[in-house]
Amino acid sequence: MNESQLETFLTIAKYKSYSKAAVALGVTQPTITSRIKALEEILQCPLFTRIGHEIFLTKEGNIFVDYAKSILTYIENSKGIHRLVKDPIIKVGFSPGYTYSFIVELLKSIKAIGNIDIQIIEGYDSIDLNKRCLAGELDLVFTRENLGSHHDIISEYLFDNPLVAVLPKEHELCQKSEILLEDLYEKTIISFRRGSSLWKLIDQQLIRTKNLTRVDVENNEMLLQAVENKLGIGIVPELGINKLIHSEKIETRNIEHISQIPNKVYVQYRKTSQIEQLAKKIVYTIINNKYTGAGGTGSASQHY
């Protein structure tokens, strides 16, 4: 039993004619007859009967119609198995906190490059991403930690991403041009991924501030929503804020000592001709988005 036999059976059932089925399928009538005969031998029953000049389905044929349609559907779907198991051409890792709008704009740019299979992966933090890049699990990563000299990895500095305080509009600290650590006394500090390498550096500074209330949320979007709803003060890298979306409800300020914590953005990718060409185009998209707010997303990445 094969596709051509099943398609021939369904075509005859549709047109109620061997000759019309032959025309529709672009084959000779003897071919049609041969296919049906072979199918009937497999099923061990007649599928059509002739009454006068017309062709009708037998009882068995009527029952087999649904089976034939289902089998053809399964065959067609099975042809896509190779697409389901095929590895993406490029696997891109981001530190947590990139806004969804930024990822969407990045994917649009990659799609514009051509027919490229790509997988976007969020790592726990920069250390995690760098390890996965070295292990060959990821082809390109954006992190705050420079991998340094490796024979099969290219590492490039992109730009700084300083830490800032995120405040709800009309918060008392909005009156200050810079927030001192003592200003955070008895305040609620909102974070996410507090166990990450960057937050460990932040906490080393915050330990000097007494009576803090701490709230750690699931992701960067949730942090910004919490700040907008006046639940506390967030601390995020500057590029973690989509100002086009959030500017009406929040403000940002530098924080004494914390804003001085180094937070550079590096891109690191594997040294293959295919990956290098794609990496350069993706990096251009990242830089263009940062400095021009391309696609209406504004500055939108956060690197932990």
pLDDT in the model for residue 208 = 87
Residues 135, 220 contacting (CB under 8 angstroms)? no
User: May I ask the CATH architecture of the domain 163-260?
Assistant: 3-Layer(aba) Sandwich (3.40)
What pLDDT is recorded for position 77?
78
> Of 269, 289, 1, nearest to 154 (Cα)?
269
Report the alpha-carbon distance of residue 304 to residue 162 in Å, rounded.
Answer: 11
Which residues make up the CATH 1.10.10.10 domain(s) of the chain?
A: 3-81
- Summarize the confidence of residues 233-262 as an average pLDDT: 86
In this structure, CATH architecture of domain 3-81: Orthogonal Bundle (1.10)
CA distance 4 to 177: 76
CB contact at 8 A, 121 and 138: yes
Instruction: Using DSSP, state whether 253 is helix, strand or coil.
Output: strand
Q: Where in the chain is the domain with CATH 3.40.190.10?
A: 87-160+263-296, 163-260
The confidence band for 87, taking pLDDT boundaries of 50, 70 and 90, is low
Per-residue pLDDT tens digits for 263-299: 888 888 888 767 787 778 777 777 776 666 543 333 3
Q: Which residue has the tokens 């290098």?
A: 276
Let me know if domain 87-160+263-296 sits in CATH 1.20.58.480.
Answer: no
Amino acid at 60: E
Task: Report strand pairing: 188-192 vs 213-217.
Answer: parallel
When pLDDT is cut at 50, 70 and 90, the band that residue 118 belongs to is confident
